[in-house]
Amino acid sequence: MDRMFTAEHEVALAAVREAAVLCRNIQAAIGPDVLEKKDRSPVTVADFGSQALICRRLAEAFPDDPVMAEEDSAALREPAQAALLDRVVAEVRRLVPEATAEAVCAWIDRGNLTAYRPRFWTLDPIDGTKGFLRGDQYAIALALVVEGQVQVAALACPNLPLTPGADAPRGVVFTAVRGEGALAWPLEGEGEPVRVQVSATADPAQARFCESFESAHSAHDAAAEVARRLGITLPPRRLDSQAKYAMVARGEADLYLRLPTRPGYVEKVWDHAAGVLIVTEAGGRVTDIHGRPLRFDLGPTLAKNRGVVVSNGRLHAAVLEAIAAVGVA
């Protein structure tokens, strides 16, 4: 069989790698003063810069493909934001010297798709913005959705150790093409990728689970109850962003629980599309808390889903059962 989506895979990998350079440049410059002043501007600059770089590459390679991205440039174009726009343009120019303010805004606006299409890209230019500001985990997540199915994914995790358990070097990109398995590439350099595979853990009590760092994004108390019910004694690993999908995909965790915190929050497509393909291609399973597959054919939100459960596959049924027994709504 011919390999499918070869060009899309190559472009997606190169695009998230380039954006990761910009994000690293900006994160490296965050000082204690930024945190003390609760200044969110570094992540705002990185969000816009990352989206501009990736949309530029997609526009070059696939001019007809729409992009459903998290950010839009309306705020950035306001005269009052001129200084912020200057910072974004300066960061983009370190990678694309010919970039102008107008071009940067136009690239960002290529990410303005808000309705479902039979073929579209979805982009989270920085996922885990809170982690980014804390100097912790964040991700750059890009996925191609065709007929409602994620076909190609690239997930850059600039602060995740390249090898599980080792502290350095950091920076890994996970990619997947449907039907072809999942790969982990060094973020930098020409190194060969390795195949990633979920864990073989079959005893729920032995499960290592992860969840959001932010308790506002995922109910920590409900997850603790589910864990207790499964006999899990290890504390959860808490980390920001779709790096949690990567943890399950490479067998460093067995479960990722994202249990709803309040009625009304609806998950976003760009927070999950890339992670879902990487985990499923690594042999794992992803559903919502009711066991339904995540729907990427409804626009920017997962309007028909509630929460997210990610597992190595083997543990999935037991986890859904425990969630139902605990009564997570």
Q: Which of the residues are catalytic?
A: 47, 129
Please identify, using beta-carbon distances, which residue of 134 and 178 lies nearer to ligand A3P. 134
Check the annotation: does 271 bind a ligand.
yes
Residue 265 binds which one of Mg ion, ligand A3P, none, with CB within 5 to 8 A depending on kind? Answer: ligand A3P
Query: Can you give the binding site for ligand A3P, defined by CB under 6 A?
Result: 70, 124, 126-129, 212, 214, 216-217, 240-241, 261, 265, 268, 271
Least separation, in Å, of the C-beta of 204 and Mg ion? 29
Query: Distance of CA 326 to CAs 130, 221, 223, 229, 321, Å?
Result: 29, 11, 9, 8, 9
36 has binding-site annotation:
no
CA distance 22 to 175: 20
Q: What CA–CA distance (Å, rounded) separates 38 from 36? A: 5
What's the number of CA atoms in the CB half-sphere (13 Å) around residue 281?
26
Instruction: Select the binding partner of residue 51 from ligand A3P, Mg ion, none (C-beta < 5 to 8 A, by kind).
Output: none
Cis peptide before 79 (omega within 30 of 0): no
Shortest gap between Cβ of 67 and Mg ion (angstroms)? Answer: 14
What are the backbone dihedrals phi and psi of residue 213, each rounded to the nearest 5 degrees, phi first? Answer: -65, -40
CB of 127 to Mg ion, least distance (A): 4
Residue labelled with tokens 């009625």: 263
Strand 209-211 relative to strand 237-238, pairing: parallel
Q: Which residue is nearest to Mg ion (CB)?
A: 127
Check whether 136 is labelled as a binding-site residue: no
Alpha carbon 130 to its chain's center: 13
Q: Known binder of ligand: residue 70?
A: yes
User: Could you tell which of ligand A3P, Mg ion, none binds residue 175, using a CB distance below 5 to 8 A set by kind?
Assistant: none
Q: Can you give the binding site for Mg ion, defined by CB under 5 A?
A: 70, 124, 126-127, 271
Tell me the C-alpha distance between 289 and 323, whole Å: 7
- Min dist. Cβ of residue 245 to Mg ion (A): 12
Q: Can you list the alpha helix ranges (DSSP code H) found in the chain?
A: 6-28, 32-36, 41-61, 74-77, 82-93, 101-109, 129-134, 220-230, 243-249, 273-281, 316-326
Minimum CB–partner distance for residue 310 and ligand A3P (Å): 11
Query: Cα separations (Å) of 101 from 75, 78, 286?
Result: 14, 12, 40
33 assigned to a ligand binding site: no
Q: Which does 261 bind (CB under 5 to 8 A by kind): Mg ion, ligand A3P, none?
A: ligand A3P
Q: Of Mg ion, ligand A3P, none, which one does residue 240 interact with (CB within 5 to 8 Å by kind)?
A: ligand A3P
Whichever of 8 and 124 has its CB closer to Mg ion, that residue is 124
Which residues participate in the annotated binding site?
70, 124, 126-127, 271
Which residues participate in the annotated binding site for Mg(2+)?
70, 124, 126-127, 271
